Amino acid sequence: MSYDKVHIEGLATKAIIGLDSWGRNSVQDCSITAEMVTNFRKASSTDDLKYSLNYAVISDDISKRVGARKNHKSLMDLARDVGGHLKNKYTGIERLILTAQCATTHIRTDDVRAEVTIPPSSAKPYNLIHIGNLKLLTLIGVFSFERLKKQFVTLELDLPVNQEETSFSSHDVIEEVIAFVENSNFKTVEALAEGTVQLITQRPYFEENNQLPVTVKVIKLNAITSTRGVGVSCTRRQCEFEGFPAIEIPSASQAHISKFDLPVPQEFKNLSQNRYIAYVAYGSNVGDRFFNILKAIELINSSKHSKVTRVSSLFQSEPMYFTDQNTFLNGCLELETSLSPHALLKFCKEIEYDELKRVKQFDNGPRSIDLDIILFKSGEEEHVLVNDDQLTIPHPRLHERSFVMEPLCELVGHAELHPITAEPIFNHLINLYAKSNAEDVLWRLIPLPARGGKERFLKFKSVTVVDEMTGFHTTKSVSSAYVMGILNVTPDSFSDGGLLQGELDSQLERTKQMVMDVLDKCESVILDVGGCSTRPNSEQASAAEELNRAIPLVQAIRSCKDFPNEKVFISVDTYRAEVALKAIEAGADIINDISGGKFDAEMFSLIANHPTVAYVLSHTRGNIRTMSSKTDYASTDLTDGSHEYIFAQDSSDASSAFIRTIAKETAEQYRKALDDNVKRWQIIIDPGIGFAKKSAQNLRLIKHVEDLKNYSYQCPKHFTTFRNLPVLVGPSRKKFIGEITGDEKPSDRDFATGALSASCVGFGADIVRVHDAKNCSKTIKLANALYRQV
């Protein structure tokens, strides 16, 4: 077998080859390309043309052959005629591939080719008709904008025909493909490609020759802007579709786009299970917004068929579409339900209109509550798709709404795939942020008890920064950090024991002075009242002593009229559920638990029963007496088969084992809190500076606050993420500061504490807990101006 070839490329000719673009049997411009396998070794060694194929002579011969017989049945007939003539006449041709091409056989394509191989090879014992650059408009894609407007695709078809076939009509195939593609509705190019192949193989010719492989290539022209196009190709034989229902070509009227129309597999339409998982997005901007949300959750849980299993953070968003209305409170719920998708929709509408008296004046207008089913799964965790006049799942505008995607990504893992796009849902959120404007950024809210009939929230704003080159992303706080001023009413606190001892009036006066000092620099202040010292190795006051110390001051602060109560948030520093309950009844907004729920088994249940009270979940090890000995983090085994994510990707090298261990141990307590029905919107994370940590470890924690905020943990049973959770850092007057500055007396460490507080804000802290609130509020305000978008 020779490996030499002589080529003739694109020889222009004219011939009648069947119908042209306008359906006429007229002369059309064609071109002939010949690839002739030969042996020109003697010609090359002697440099003598007589031992090779003379392409000038052959080109002239082709022109004469076509001119002598202009009327051919088809382009394939032309190719077979010219190819057979050359093979018979020129003995030096061992094998010939001849291609006849025409740009005017159909108005939709400028590339129709007929290719013959003489003699045929065992690898390809057939001739080929190629139809390229077939440009069509169709409804294809999974995003909402794709479902409402047709877009261009190009098709390439490779149609094999037997060696003897001369009359195969490419014109008829093109007409059928156009009718099918342009009047159909596809989610994926894969479905378009295989559907087109099946349509072609239904033709009688391929039914008779059911082993011939038909290939279809589909390219979406505008899917990825940095490419000329992306797509797929597939090859099938007619025999591979045995038992498949025949492809039917819809009429033009069936393809009219009047609404979001998503093809749904038939098997998902009839559900017969009794346990499903649903994800429901909620929004409210009328009346008592948070009450509306709590009431909706209560109504779901009080039903016999549905239960809220997890709740996202709470977000405030600007209205979309119709902007002249109040801001919204938004979030997502995960439900277990025995209802089908349509029955669940009916139940949600009953809550909206019958229970919470929603009045719908127009689409996207104000509403007391809106409950949208955005995802639905079977009990086996398989996504259920729905698309009809009443309901579309997944929600068609899911990808364009950060106020839905952000809370949803707190409930589903990083690897969770969107049921239509087959991309991780988290990737869609990151892509949304990469393209969004500053006004799209959400406020994360912690709801607190209303005072004076007004809603009260702690507010935090963060942005997701995406590197356009690498896709690397991280979440950063951009809102002002809060000042938490420490009010220890205990005689044995490590730094200010006994300072607030004495009459309640004097305690209140010192408190009022702290409030006014901080409000002079900041918009609000958090007061942290402590009645029991939690310094390592300290003697613990009884619950009764703690109550007698802390609760009267909380009551006095809450009833004080000398400063704006709406700007003063009260926290109580306790690990006892009994004390926490009395504090909440006295008017506390936050429970600051240094044990993270480890010291009192009733704490999480208590917090869960008060969904408008915030909870600081701190990291520690051991107990008050043993924590100082539990600082060995290097021996922790982190190889448990689970997946950890820093910056939303597996990057264990990016953060030390120490930070990962702190994050993971905190995540375990956080998960227990959620399992006890504490709402995610209640939780603030505290890495526990000074508790079961050495000096260098405390510094490292402060430097890696942002890593902690970007931490996620996934194991087969659950997914946990700290994304959007605010972080409290309490470095004030701690021993490690004195070890660095040489200040042995805790109160002498205030100046250094102020400097470190500014650093905490720079490293990502959202709340900084300090003793010298007056001066530290200045450094924190300066740090807010430096590091935050204030």
Q: Could you read off the pLDDT of 429-459 as tens digits, one per residue?
A: 888 877 665 456 789 999 999 887 888 999 9
Check whether residue 272 and residue 398 sit in a common domain.
Answer: yes
Place of tokens 């972080």: 727
Q: Is residue 526 located within the same domain as residue 659?
A: yes
Nearest in space to 279 (alpha carbons), one of 380, 409, 368, 430: 409
Host H or E run for residue 463: strand 454-466
Provide the CATH number for the domain around residue 520: 3.20.20.20
Position 461 in a domain: no
Query: CATH number of the domain that 202 lies in?
Result: 3.30.1130.10
Residue type at 87 in one-letter notation: K
The answer on 698 and 577 residing in a single domain is yes
Residues 254 and 289 in one domain: no
**Rounded to 5 degrees, what are φ and ψ at 472?**
-65, 135
- pLDDT confidence of residue 256: 44
- Same-domain check for residues 278 and 252: no
∠ CA 482-773-535, nearest 5°, is 95
Cis peptide leading into 449, omega within 30 of 0?
Answer: no
pLDDT of residue 648: 42
CA 327/CA 452 separation, integer angstroms: 21
Check if the beta carbon of residue 309 is closer than 8 Å to that of residue 302: no
pTM for the whole structure: 0.76
- Residues in the chain with pLDDT < 50? 254-258, 266-270, 438, 647-655
Query: Is there a single domain that holds both residue 284 and residue 387?
Result: yes
* Rounded CA separation 525/481 (Å): 10
Confidence at residue 588, expressed as pLDDT on a 0 to 100 scale? 96
**pLDDT for the residue numbered 603:** 97
pLDDT of res. 651? 45
Angle ∠(81,82,88) on CA atoms, nearest 5: 90
Whose CA is closest to 337, among 310, 300, 384, 374? 300
The length of the chain in residues reads 790
Q: Which ranges of 647-732 would DSSP assign to H, the alpha helix? A: 657-675, 695-703, 705-709
Judge if 289 and 253 occupy the same domain. no
pLDDT at 320: 66
Q: Is residue 641 included in any domain, yes or no?
A: no
Domain assignment present for 743: yes
Q: What pLDDT sits at residue 650?
A: 42
Q: Are residues 580 and 723 in the same domain?
A: yes
Structural domain for 49, as ranges: 1-125
Please answer whether residues 419 and 394 qualify as being in contact, where contact means their C-beta atoms are separated by less than 8 angstroms: yes
Q: Does the residue 637 lie in any domain? A: no
What's the structural domain count of the chain?
A: 4
Domain termination residue (choose one: 235, 263, 291) = 263
- What is the token pair recorded at 589? 């907004």
In a domain, 644, yes or no: no
Question: What is the per-residue pLDDT for 2?
Answer: 61
Q: What's the rounded Cα separation, in Å, for the pair 376 and 372?
A: 11
CA 399 distance to own-chain centroid: 8
Q: Which residue has the tokens 């500061």?
A: 737
Give the span between the Cα atoms of 201 and 204, in whole angstroms: 8
What separation in angstroms does the CA of 547 have from each of 102, 529, 623, 747? Answer: 93, 11, 21, 26
Final residue in a domain of this structure, among 212, 229, 263? 263
Q: Of 125, 141, 165, which closes a domain?
A: 125
Q: Are residues 189 and 254 in the same domain?
A: yes
How many Å apart are CA 157 and CA 519, to the nearest integer?
A: 73
Residue 460 lies in a domain: no
Type of residue found at 61: D
Is the same domain home to 285 and 243?
no
Looking at the structure, do residues 322 and 184 belong to the same domain, yes or no? no
Cis ω on the peptide bond leading into residue 341 (within 30° of 0)?
Answer: no
Write out the two tokens for 557: 């602060």
Residue 118 resides in a domain: yes
Structure confidence at residue 400 (pLDDT): 75
Q: What is the pLDDT of residue 438?
A: 47
| CA distances from residue 29 to 7, 105, 581 in whole angstroms, order as listed | 20, 10, 90
Question: Within this chain, do residues 401 and 487 fall inside the same structural domain, yes or no?
Answer: no
CATH number of the domain where residue 309 is located = 3.30.70.560
Position 763 scores a pLDDT of 95
Q: Give the three-state DSSP class for 564.
A: coil
What count of Cα atoms within 13 Å lies in the side-chain half-sphere of residue 550?
A: 36
Quick: pLDDT tens for 631-664: 888 766 666 656 666 544 444 444 478 888 899 9
